[in-house]
Amino acid sequence: MRILVVNPNTTASMTARIGAAARAAAAPGTEVEAVNPAMGPASIEGYYDEAFAVPGLLEEIGRGEATGVDGHVIACFDDTGLEAARSLARAPVVGIGEAAFHMASLIAGRFTVVTTLARSVPAIEHNLMKYGLAARCARVRAAEVPVLALEDAASDARRRIAGVIEQAKDEDGAEAIVLGCAGMADLAAALSSAHGLPVVDGVASAVKLVEGLAALGLRTSKTLGYATPRPKRYTGLLDRFAPR
Ligand SMILES: O=C(O)C[C@H]1NC(=O)NC1=O
| Distance between Cα 203 and ligand 1 center (Å) | 12
pLDDT in tens, 42-56: 999 999 999 999 999
228 vs 244: CA distance, rounded Å: 10
Mutate which of 45, 82, 161 for ligand 1? The one with the most ligand atoms within 8 Å of its CB, which is 45
Q: Minimal CA–CA distance to 54: which of 64, 65, 44, 68?
A: 44
- 181 Cα: distance to centroid of ligand 1 (angstroms): 5
Domain 97-201 CATH assignment equals 3.40.50.12500: yes
How far apart (Å, rounded) are the C-alpha atoms in residues 193 and 17? 20
| Domains 2-95+204-241 and 97-201 alike in fold | yes
> For ligand 1, what atom is nearest to the CA of residue 7?
9
Write down the mean pLDDT value for the chain.
Answer: 98
Residues 6+ apart with CB under 8 A from 125: 134, 140
Q: Cα(200)–Cα(208) distance, rounded to whole angstroms? A: 12
Indicate the domain borders of the chain.
2-95+204-241, 97-201
Pocket probe for ligand 1: among 10, 117, 144, 181, the residue whose CB has the most ligand atoms within 8 Å is 181
* Contact present, 100 and 201 (Cβ < 8 Å): yes
ipTM for the predicted complex comes to 0.98
As a residue count, the chain comes to 244
pLDDT digits 0-9 by tens, 58-98: 999 999 999 999 999 999 999 999 999 999 999 999 999 99
Task: Kindly compute the dihedral angle of the four CA atoms of residues 201, 202, 208, 212, in this order, to the nearest 10 degrees.
Answer: 140
Residue 121 banded pLDDT, cuts 50, 70, 90: very high
pLDDT digits (tens, 9 = 90+) for 190-218: 999 999 999 999 999 999 999 999 999 99
CATH topology of domain 2-95+204-241: Rossmann fold (3.40.50)
Ligand 1 centroid to 230 CA: how many Å? 30
What share of the chain has pLDDT > 70, as a percent?
100
Which amino acid does the sequence have at 236? G
